[in-house]
Amino acid sequence: MGKTLFDKIWDAHAVNVMEDGLTQLYIDRHYCHEVTSPQAFDGLRQRGLKVMRPERTFCSPDHNIPTVNQEKPIEDPVSRKQVDTLVRNAEEFGVTLYGVGHPKNGIIHVIGPENGLTLPGYTVVCGDSHTSTHGAFGAVAFGIGTSEVEMVLASQCILQNKPKTMRINVEGQLKPGVTAKDVALYIIAKMTTGGATGYFVEYAGEAVRSLSMEGRMTLCNLSIEMGARGGMIAPDQTTLDYVKGREFAPAGEEWEKASKEWLALASDPDAKFDREITFQASDIEPRVTYGTNPGMGIGISESIPENEGEEKALAYMGFEAGQKIEGVPVDYVFLGSCTNGRIEDFRAFASVVKGRKKAPGITAWLVPGSHLVAAQIKEEGIDKILEEAGFELRQPGCSACLAMNDDKVPAGKLAVSTSNRNFEGRQGPGARTVLAGPLVAAATAVTGVITDPRKL
CATH number at residue 388: 3.30.499.10
Q: Are residues 263 and 295 in the same domain?
A: no
- 2 with 122, same domain: the answer is yes
Among the three residues 265, 285, 305, which one is the final residue of a domain in this structure?
Answer: 285
In a shared domain, residues 256 and 316 = no
Count of residues making up the chain? 456
Q: For residue 198, give Cα distances in angstroms to 13, 15, 275.
A: 20, 22, 11
Residue 1 has pLDDT above 90, yes or no: no
Task: Determine what percent of the chain is predicted with pLDDT higher than 70.
Answer: 100
Residue 109 structural domain:
1-285
Residues 331-369 have pLDDT tens digits of: 999 999 999 999 999 999 999 999 999 999 999 999 999
Residue partners of 277: CB distance under 8 A and separation at least 6: 166, 167, 168, 169, 191
Give the C-alpha distances (Å, rounded to integers) separating 272 from 23, 208, 252, 388, 440.
Answer: 21, 20, 36, 53, 38
What does pTM read for this prediction?
A: 0.98
For residue 152, what pLDDT band results from cuts at 50, 70 and 90?
very high
Mean pLDDT of 375-379: 98
pLDDT in tens, 274-312: 999 999 999 999 999 999 999 999 999 999 999 999 999
**Which residues share a beta bridge with 29?**
124
Distance in Å from the first CA to the final CA of the chain = 51
Interstrand relation of 297-299 and 287-289 (parallel, antiparallel or unpaired): antiparallel
271 and 348 share one domain: no
Number of compact structural domains in the chain: 2
What pLDDT is stored for residue 27 in this prediction?
98
Q: In terms of Cα–Cα distance, which of 450, 438, 449, 448 is closest to 352? A: 438
- pLDDT digit string (tens) for 162-189? 999 999 999 999 999 999 999 999 999 9
Q: Examine the fold and report which residue of 285, 307, 331 is the final residue of a domain before the chain moves on.
A: 285
- Asked whether the predicted pLDDT for residue 128 surpasses 90, the reply is yes
pLDDT digits (tens, 9 = 90+) for 230-280: 999 999 999 999 999 999 999 999 999 999 999 999 999 999 999 999 999
